[in-house]
Amino acid sequence: MRILAPILILLQMAVGQTITASVDVNQLAVNETFTFKIEAKDADNLPQVNLFPLEKDFTVISGPAQQTSYQFINGEATSSKSLTWTLVPNKKGKLVIPSLTVVLDGKRLKTKPIPMNVKSSGSVTQKDELFLLAEIDKDEAFVGEQITVTYKLYTRVQMSLEDIKYPESVGFWSEELSVPRPPRFNQTTISGVQYNVATLYKVALFPTKTGELELTPMTARCNVQVKTRRRQRGIFDDPFFNNFFNETVQKVLRTEPRKIRVKPYPVGQPANFTGAVGQFKLKAAVDTDKVKANEAVTYYVELEGTGNLNMFSLPKLNFPDNMEVFPPTSSFEQEQLWDQFTGKMKWEYILIPRQAGKVFLPRIELAYFDPNDKQFHTISSRSVELNISPAKDNLASTSSGFTKEEIALLGQDIHYNFTTPPAWIERGQRGIPIWVWTSYILAAGLFLAPVTLSRYQQQRITTAGQRMSHRALKRALQTLKAHPNVDDVSTAIYTYLQERWQLRTDNLDPLSVESELRGIIPPELLDELIQLLKDCDAERYAPGATGSGNIANRAMTILKKVDGHA
């Protein structure tokens, strides 16, 4: 019996292990989040699960969060280990969280499917209060023609942006036109209803193939303040008490799918067409049109215009055979226009002519398609004339009849006669002249100066981060005193944190700050700093929020405390 007792206990533990999957709600709108939980009872380790089967109909917003709990009931101990995710449905309709395979203590178990009823986006009033819209300037285009897409956020409620997932459209070459950081809200009216609207992202898309292409949706995660539901009315239903009974609800917004029909080019495509679409100007020049043989000259080619500048290349250039050509270097300079992708593409060729004479550099021709008139056009640069004179060594050899080696030997045979007697100095009468010492000192100084300067610059570069860290608080306090508005306060705080701790990322938000500084500053100061950042975001993004007016003073106080404990 004593031997069988441990075996029975192990069998009871094995039988008692169970796995369950659950959600906090199974009826919701398409832009609302819900909690998905997998719980294992009487397990030694956390369950292991792959969520790939459900990612077709649901998107994982965050997780997994781990939790372990113990209970004692009637003298018996039970334990549970759970994993929790925050999900959002990808579409409306009757969806199902499929059965998932869970590995628990080396055993493979199955969860039960969970049905989900997802409505379009709640009531019509709810959708009108907060939604994300993708505006396109055209839904039909040629291959390589620009399509401008603007993503805007419309709201009539108090909210703050938590995260934005930018679209990655398949079948398009994309060029960013504008990414406002932070987004700025303006007032607009739609059908007599006033909204606060902000542009989140503007991008130029260039189709790379024909057919019907779909724009992938853009996703924005927001925290929205809603009123807490109360069963019965009382004195606290007065609007004066509304702020005391608000709660924050997380919502995920998506743009509606958009289709783009991409057409092929019309008949008549030139043989030298390389895919340029838009309107362009082409020119070429050299830095000098007179050069000696074996000396370098730079050949510049500049293409300016509006269109798919980064999607095609120049035709191959055929330079003269007696000229050495190095591979070109290219650069692109984008003009900051709001709706069109415009800029200058430059190429620089280093040429070394090897023979004297007059040559003409090749004339460049570029064929492009203009979607405005639906016609092919050809632009060309002028032919550049280059006058090459003989090299210096060739001149010397031609005039004298000697080679360079013979001229060097001839110079050793020439001796010059002195017409005046030399000024002899007796031994020991005078030392080395002062000008000789001065020359030696100057030469030594010139020799050592680059080494000393290089070490000084290296020291400055090495300690740049430390100097920036030490000046971070002073710079932040000066900014907060000079610019106390909430936008500049938030920027000053994030700039201080990045400079003070040399953070590698520029995309800071309250969550990333908490992750980066956990364990570096005391927890109570970290909580106070995170709350300050969230209050700044609420003031910046919440329409109609007024703030307390002294958030800059509060920020200065908190930053001094944080810097003092760092």
Lowest mean pLDDT among 51-60, 289-298, 512-521: 512-521
Which residue in 103, 128, 101 sits closest to 112, CA to CA?
Answer: 101
Distances, alpha carbon 227 to alpha carbons 32, 126, 231, 248, in Å: 16, 13, 12, 9
* Predicted local confidence at residue 13, as pLDDT: 41
In the block, tokens 């199974």 appear at: 26
Copy the structure tokens of residue 503. 């953070």
Copy the structure tokens of residue 543. 């329409």
* Predicted local confidence at residue 321, as pLDDT: 85
* Predicted local confidence at residue 169, as pLDDT: 79
Residue 440 pLDDT exceeds 90: no
Q: How far apart are CA 240 and CA 236, in angstroms?
A: 8
> In this predicted model, which residue has the larger pLDDT, 474 or 503?
474
Mean per-residue pLDDT, 226-240 = 54
The average confidence (pLDDT) of the chain is 78
* Predicted local confidence at residue 405, as pLDDT: 45
Is residue 222 within 8 Å of 160, Cβ to Cβ?
yes
Residue 239 pLDDT exceeds 50: no
* Predicted local confidence at residue 73, as pLDDT: 67
Residue 232 pLDDT exceeds 70: no
* Predicted local confidence at residue 211, as pLDDT: 92
Partners of 278 in beta bridges: 307
Q: How far apart are CA 220 and CA 222, in angstroms?
A: 6
Residue 482 dihedral angles phi and psi, to the nearest 5°: -80, -30
* Predicted local confidence at residue 4, as pLDDT: 36
Is residue 270 within 8 Å of 367, Cβ to Cβ?
yes
Distances, alpha carbon 352 to alpha carbons 7, 145, 299, in Å: 89, 39, 11
Residue 193 pLDDT exceeds 70: yes
Write out pLDDT tens, residues 260-285: 999 999 998 998 898 999 999 999 99
Edge-first strand order for the sheet with 246-254 is 159-165, 219-227, 246-254
Q: How far apart are CA 381 and CA 205, in angstroms?
A: 29
Q: How many CB atoms lie within 10 A of CB 57?
A: 17
Lowest mean pLDDT among 55-59, 409-413, 435-439: 409-413
Lowest mean pLDDT among 234-238, 432-436, 467-471, 551-555: 234-238
Copy the structure tokens of residue 213. 């292409």
Lowest mean pLDDT among 121-125, 133-137, 144-148, 242-246: 121-125
Which amino acid belongs to residue 431? G
- The per-type count for the chain, helices as H runs and strands as E runs, is 10, 31
18 pLDDT tier (thresholds 50, 70, 90): confident
Residue 372 pLDDT exceeds 80: yes
Dihedral (C-alpha) 485, 490, 492, 493: value to the nearest 10 degrees? 140
Mean per-residue pLDDT, 40-46 = 82
Which residue in 560, 514, 557, 506 sits closest to 533, CA to CA?
Answer: 514
Residue 19 pLDDT exceeds 90: no
Residue 10 pLDDT exceeds 50: no
* Predicted local confidence at residue 65, as pLDDT: 86
Nearest-Å Rg of the Cα atoms of the chain is 37
Residue 402 DSSP SS3: coil
Q: How far apart are CA 243 and CA 225, in angstroms?
A: 9
Which residue in 140, 107, 148 sits closest to 16, CA to CA?
Answer: 107
Residues with Cβ within 8 Å of residue 506, at least 6 apart in sequence: 498
120 pLDDT tier (thresholds 50, 70, 90): low
Write out pLDDT tens, residues 417-426: 556 666 666 6
In the block, tokens 């007024």 appear at: 546
Residue 404 pLDDT exceeds 60: no
Is residue 537 within 8 Å of 545, Cβ to Cβ?
no
Residues with Cβ within 8 Å of residue 504, at least 6 apart in sequence: none
Residue 273 CA from chain centroid, whole number:
33
Residue 260 DSSP SS3: strand
| pTM of the entire predicted model | 0.51
* Predicted local confidence at residue 124, as pLDDT: 36
Mean per-residue pLDDT, 359-377 = 91
> In this predicted model, which residue has the larger pLDDT, 381 or 404?
381
Residue 235 pLDDT exceeds 80: no
Instruction: Work out the percent of the chain whose per-residue pLDDT is above 90.
Output: 14
Q: How far apart are CA 121 and CA 288, in angstroms?
A: 67
Q: How far apart are CA 91 and CA 254, in angstroms?
A: 10
Write out pLDDT tens, residues 196-208: 899 999 999 999 9
Write out pLDDT tens, residues 135-166: 888 889 999 999 999 999 998 888 888 888 88
Instruction: Work out the percent of the chain whose per-residue pLDDT is above 70.
Output: 78
Residue 182 pLDDT exceeds 90: no
Is residue 536 within 8 Å of 486, Cβ to Cβ?
yes
Residue 28 pLDDT exceeds 50: yes
